[in-house]
């Protein structure tokens, strides 16, 4: 059932330089962000991608598969680039700053994607479970590892539960992103990276 991969085609269909599959995913992100997953019509996505309704089913298993694929692919690429960036940095506190910045930069770059990520992917318990068990867990583990390492190397206090700290950081970043999406003011999400890192590292006192 779960397909989410292109039909064998070496004819790189182009439409502003992207493959049909890409165009469909992009259109899905935009339509989901615009109308919400449940109110999004497959035919709208097809129109946005410049393909026939039926064509979507050659590349994806259906509406739900679109949402899952969007999530999977973006999270995967997010985690990879995060890993790459972390590999170049020493020191738990600096690594934390990098992670924070990376989160805000990535989501702050594409509002529609952020909307899908912050809103649409969370429309049901089923979805949240699904995601929190896989990719999100990986992300939380990466954050937790930073904390664990910080504690080992003596940079961070040892009396905080690393898993809890990881969730806390994720929660902060998540809320900042959601708040940014909902804000009527235009501002760069990344600008908050330093204050957040400062708060997490030093605390209020």
Partner DNA sequence: GATGAATGAGGATTCATTCAT
Partner DNA sequence: AATGAATGAATCCTCATTCAT
Residues that bind a second copy (CB under 8 A): 33, 36-39, 93, 96, 115, 119-120, 122-126, 128-129, 132, 147, 150, 155-157, 159-161, 164-165, 167-168, 170-176, 178-179, 181-182, 192, 195-196, 198-205
Q: Contact between 63 and DNA (CB under 7 A)?
A: yes
- The reply to whether 3 sits near DNA by the rule CB under 7 A is no
Contacts (Cβ under 8 Å, ≥6 apart) of 187: 180
Q: Which two tokens stand for residue 54?
A: 């039926």
**Residue 73: closest CA among 121, 145, 8, 31:** 121
To a second copy, the closest distance from the beta carbon of 64 in angstroms equals: 12
Structural element, H or E, at residue 136 = helix 135-152
Q: Is 13 in the site for DNA (CB under 7 A)?
A: yes
**Binder of DNA out of 18, 57, 122, 168 (CB under 7 A):** 57
- Rounded Cα distance between 44 and 133, Å, is 31
Cβ(189)–Cβ(107) below 8 Å? yes
CB nearer to DNA: give 51 or 193: 51
Written as six digits, the tokens of 35 are 């109308």
Question: Which residues contact DNA by CB under 7 A?
Answer: 6-9, 11, 13, 20, 39-43, 51-59, 62-64
């Amino acid at each position: 059932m779960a397909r989410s991969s292109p039909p064998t085609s070496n004819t790189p269909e182009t439409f502003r330089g992207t493959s049909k599959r890409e165009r469909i995913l992009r259109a899905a992100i935009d339509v989901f962000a615009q109308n919400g997953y449940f109110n999004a019509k497959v035919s709208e996505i097809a129109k946005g991608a410049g393909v026939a309704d039926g064509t979507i089913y050659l590349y994806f298993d259906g509406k739900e598969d679109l949402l899952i694929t969007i999530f999977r692919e973006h999270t995967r690429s997010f985690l990879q680039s995060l890993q790459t960036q972390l590999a170049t940095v020493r020191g738990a506190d600096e690594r934390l700053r990098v992670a924070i910045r990376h989160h805000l930069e990535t989501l702050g770059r594409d509002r529609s994607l952020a909307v899908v990520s912050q809103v649409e992917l969370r429309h049901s318990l089923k979805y949240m479970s699904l995601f929190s068990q896989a990719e999100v867990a990986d992300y939380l583990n990466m954050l937790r590892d930073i904390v664990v390492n910080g504690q080992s190397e003596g940079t961070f206090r040892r009396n905080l539960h690393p898993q809890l700290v990881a969730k806390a950081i994720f929660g902060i970043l998540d809320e900042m992103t959601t708040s940014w999406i909902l804000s009527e003011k235009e501002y760069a999400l990344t600008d908050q990276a330093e204050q957040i890192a400062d708060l997490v590292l030093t605390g209020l006192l």
